[in-house]
Amino acid sequence: MSWEAVIGLETHVELSTRSKMFCGCPARFDAPPNTNVCPVCLGLPGALPVPNREAINRIIRIGLALNCSVTGRSVFHRKNYFYADLPKNYQISQFDLPVCVDGYLDVGGDHPGRVGIERVHQEEDTGKSTHMGGDGRISAAEYSLLDFNRSGVPLVEIVTRPDIRSAAQARAYAQELRLLVEALGVSDARLEEGSIRFDANVSVRPGPEAPLGTKVEIKNMNSFRSLERAVAFEIGRQTACLDGGERIVMETRHWDEEAGVTRGGRTKEGSSDYRYFPDPDLVPLELDQDWKDEMAALLPELPARRRSRYEGMGIDPAQAATLAGADVHLRGLFEGAVEAGARPQQAGNWVSGEVVAALRSSGRESLADSPLSGPNLARLLAMVEDSTLSGLAAREVLAGVLAGEGTPEEVASARDLLQISDAGVLEAAVEEVTADHTEEFARLCSGEQKLIGFFVGQVMRRTRGKADPKLAGRLIRERAGL
């Protein structure tokens, strides 16, 4: 029997606001443990929460970028459960009136499709437990350490509709969403640091018309690769179960990266287990049109639009995607070079190839404050186009410009890299190498064409790599009467 996979993703995005969601503590948790805390985020009796306006600004922008409608009135609920890193014994979250509803995100590439966004809601992060002794898992721990620096950090949850149909498409959605969040500048959006985290809901069914199957929720995937692997594994596990006549149990499973399997844990809580009720300490948010308009005006160019703009310049789709995902300085360099007259495809190849390589070997982290400007790059590429510089020499000039040695012209002449495309100068070199290799030259003259390469190589050697190889080839051919 063939089965269709159905996947929905829940994504948590930690906002990079200066302060926490409901108190004034710094929202950074790289500080020494339990230093960024106060009565509110420690859940002490009588402490009262005050919403962070900047966090609300940011969730509105996330919702708008995801084509959601932003509700006029939004309510915070208490989601009740007990855990040691949740000092209030409830998390402030949202239930039936989230800030944003009903949007979508288009996924392109090899797994195109429109993924519906059911809701985007505002909540707060928990503290962080570190289980000590044993293998780091709670089951084998001797004791646990608690750090509340993360407690109360603004967290936005983005919930899709069950519209995703393969593990690869789940990954493509997650990557597109990360790009979007990064472009919005609302979060560090780093998977390794947990500032963006994905949970996957997976079920299978006999075909597109069949009702949805029982779903399993998978947690604990901290890379795009493990997200894709975990979903693929789970699809295989469920189809094998069903083919074997078993039934799927609704549960939460954990991805074990090393073993490459999902493992069952607790059975899934229903929402009634959480006893949601409106937080009496917080008034509803009134999100009026002016506020939404103000946020809409702050939206930057989003990745999908940037990709199609780059494709419109005549760049191939893969290159456009690479460039659109590059950091702001590299993109600025690319756009500046094109503005100064460089051919877009050539400029794009250089920015994502040679420039990135040169940056890496220069030890610089980024192009911020670097002397390599768009006009400089355009001039360098023009020198390659008109054969003033060989490709190899151009790379050296690039390194020199990056090191602050001057404009491309200055670096090229200071480092003696200008290509010899003066026919008179090259003529002399050709004469010398043919005189040095009379036997080969005689063979060339009698029609042994493959010796052209040999002579061009000799000319390059004699000119220490600076001859224009095309011109050298032509002169050799002329001299041999070919």
Residue 190: both structure tokens together: 């780093």
Query: Residue 156 CB, nearest distance to ligand ADP (Å)?
Result: 15
217 versus 335: smaller Cβ distance to ligand ADP: 217
**Phi and psi angles of residue 14, each rounded to the nearest 5 degrees, phi first:** -85, 125
**Phi and psi angles of residue 266, each rounded to the nearest 5 degrees, phi first:** -80, 155
What's the gap between Cα 446 and its chain centre? 59
25 versus 65: smaller Cβ distance to Zn ion: 25
Which of Zn ion, ligand ADP, none does residue 38 bind to, with CB < 5 to 8 Å depending on kind?
Zn ion
Binding site for ligand ADP (CB under 6 A): 6-10, 159-162, 201-203, 212-213, 215, 271
Query: Residue 272 CB, nearest distance to ligand ADP (Å)?
Result: 10
According to the binding rule CB under 5 A, does residue 358 interact with Zn ion? no
Which of Zn ion, ligand ADP, none does residue 41 bind to, with CB < 5 to 8 Å depending on kind?
Zn ion
12 versus 161: smaller Cβ distance to ligand ADP: 161
Walk across the sheet containing 76-80 and list its strands: 90-94, 76-80, 277-278
93 versus 226: smaller Cβ distance to ligand ADP: 93
Which of Zn ion, ligand ADP, none does residue 161 bind to, with CB < 5 to 8 Å depending on kind?
ligand ADP
Which of Zn ion, ligand ADP, none does residue 271 bind to, with CB < 5 to 8 Å depending on kind?
ligand ADP
Among 5, 9, 13, 25, indicate the residue that binds Zn ion (CB under 5 A).
25
Question: Of the listed pieces 33-41, 68-76, 85-93, 375-383, which binds Zn ion according to CB under 5 A?
Answer: 33-41
Collapsed DSSP state (helix, strand, coil) of residue 367: coil
195 versus 203: smaller Cβ distance to ligand ADP: 203
According to the binding rule CB under 5 A, does residue 23 interact with Zn ion? yes
Residue 374: both structure tokens together: 């768009």
Q: Nearest Cα to 292, choosing from 62, 102, 106?
A: 62
37 versus 167: smaller Cβ distance to Zn ion: 37
User: In which element (H, E) is residue 349 found?
Assistant: helix 344-350
According to the binding rule CB under 5 A, does residue 101 interact with Zn ion? no
Burial (CB count within 10 angstroms: exposed 0-12, middle 13-18, buried 19+), residue 363: exposed
Collapsed DSSP state (helix, strand, coil) of residue 306: helix
According to the binding rule CB under 5 A, does residue 41 interact with Zn ion? yes
Which of ligand ADP, Zn ion, none does residue 215 bind to, with CB < 5 to 8 Å depending on kind?
ligand ADP
274 versus 454: smaller Cβ distance to ligand ADP: 274
Count CB atoms within 10 A of the CB of residue 297. Answer: 7
Distance, in Å, from the CA atom of 207 to the CA atom of 297, rounded to the nearest integer, reads 43
Distance, in Å, from the CA atom of 352 to the CA atom of 339, rounded to the nearest integer, reads 17
What's the gap between Cα 457 and its chain centre? 44
The pairing of beta strand 113-124 with beta strand 73-74: unpaired
Q: Which residue is nearest to ligand ADP (CB)?
A: 8
Which of Zn ion, ligand ADP, none does residue 23 bind to, with CB < 5 to 8 Å depending on kind?
Zn ion
Question: With contacts defined by CB under 5 A, how many residues of the chain interact with Zn ion?
Answer: 5
According to the binding rule CB under 5 A, does residue 153 interact with Zn ion? no
Burial (CB count within 10 angstroms: exposed 0-12, middle 13-18, buried 19+), residue 307: buried
Dihedral-angle region of residue 367 (phi above 0 means left; psi in -120 to 50 means alpha; beta otherwise): alpha
According to the binding rule CB under 5 A, does residue 27 interact with Zn ion? no
Q: Which residues bind Zn ion (CB under 5 A)?
A: 23, 25, 38, 40-41
